[in-house]
């Protein structure tokens, strides 16, 4: 690839808009082709991180990862992305420099002129964490839904007896909650309504915690912490909600 600093892109667009004879098409690229390993190393240096040796992966493993990526929300590695990387994405920088009257800077120079701050480092570190949070929360909600659908009637009575529910009513309430949990877990996968789904999860988690505290207050002292763990899930949900645009 041939990256160009965003400030050079902005300057080029402004100059071309003001130009009376701008070309119909123009490849805006930096002056230096770079491999993905070189680009990663450049960005790590900008962020103040120590260098790391790249890990070589076989084409077969990458293609398998790309297929899996297409099944996951917001995955960076897909078959289209892999095809683009295999084909390369470079161009001659001379026509752009001639049309603009100036040449875009090397990426290292552009980054040096705009030093990274703590927020840049935090954002970079949160990129992989966001995917982990999303996958784990979806698994927790969907898995809880599936497990609740398998709860026998006697167990439903024991869980909801403290709320005055028993028999078919307790089982129906358990099944309804299971379907809701399953729907909220699967609802995290599409990005369109994710913020709404996360907000509903927060409200439902608070409701579940309050009801469980009434029905089975001893769960707060359970060694496995079934209610205490809600605090960790609450924090993870708030973190993901904050990261969602």
pLDDT band at 232 (very low <50, low <70, confident <90, very high): very high
pLDDT band at 215 (very low <50, low <70, confident <90, very high): confident
Judged by DSSP in three states, 245 sits in: coil
pLDDT band at 235 (very low <50, low <70, confident <90, very high): very high
pLDDT band at 183 (very low <50, low <70, confident <90, very high): very high
| Mean pLDDT of all residues in 81-109 | 91
* Rounded Cα gap, residues 172 and 166, in angstroms: 10
| Mean pLDDT of all residues in 133-156 | 91
- As given in the structure block, the two tokens for residue 242 are 């904050």
The 10s digit of each residue's pLDDT in 15-36 is 999 988 888 888 999 999 999 8
Q: Sign of the CA dihedral 186, 234, 119, 135? A: negative
* Rounded Cα gap, residues 71 and 50, in angstroms: 33
pLDDT of residue 155: 85
pLDDT at 219 exceeding the cut of 90: no
Cβ contacts of residue 5 below 8 Å, gap of 6+? 30, 104, 105, 107, 109, 110, 111, 114
Burial class of residue 5 (count of CB atoms within 10 Å of its CB; 0-12, 13-18, 19+): buried
pLDDT of residue 158: 83
* Rounded Cα gap, residues 155 and 47, in angstroms: 53
pLDDT at 200 exceeding the cut of 90: yes
Q: What is the dihedral of CA 133, 134, 139, 141, to 10 degrees?
A: 100
């Amino acid at each position: 690839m041939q990256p160009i600093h965003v400030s050079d892109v902005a300057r080029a667009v402004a100059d071309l808009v003001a130009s009376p004879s701008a070309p119909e098409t123009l490849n805006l690229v930096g002056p230096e082709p770079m491999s993905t390993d070189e680009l990663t190393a450049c960005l790590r240096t900008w962020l103040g991180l120590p260098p790391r040796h790249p890990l070589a992966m076989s084409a077969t493993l990458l293609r398998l990862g790309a297929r899996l990526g297409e099944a996951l929300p917001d995955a960076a590695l897909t078959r289209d992305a892999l095809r683009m990387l295999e084909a390369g994405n470079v161009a001659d920088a001379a026509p752009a420099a001639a049309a603009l009257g100036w040449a875009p800077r090397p990426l290292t120079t552009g980054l040096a002129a705009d030093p990274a701050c703590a927020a840049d480092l935090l954002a970079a570190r949160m990129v992989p964490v966001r995917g982990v949070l999303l996958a784990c929360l979806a698994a927790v909600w969907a898995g809880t839904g599936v497990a609740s659908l398998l709860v026998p009637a006697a167990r439903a009575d024991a869980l909801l007896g403290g709320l005055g529910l028993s028999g078919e009513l307790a089982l129906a309430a358990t099944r309804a909650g299971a379907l809701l949990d399953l729907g909220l877990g699967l609802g995290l996968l599409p990005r369109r309504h994710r913020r709404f789904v996360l907000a509903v999860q927060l409200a439902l988690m608070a409701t579940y915690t309050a009801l469980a505290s009434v029905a089975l207050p001893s769960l707060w002292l359970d060694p496995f912490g079934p209610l205490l763990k809600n605090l960790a899930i609450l924090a993870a949900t708030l973190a993901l909600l904050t990261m969602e645009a």
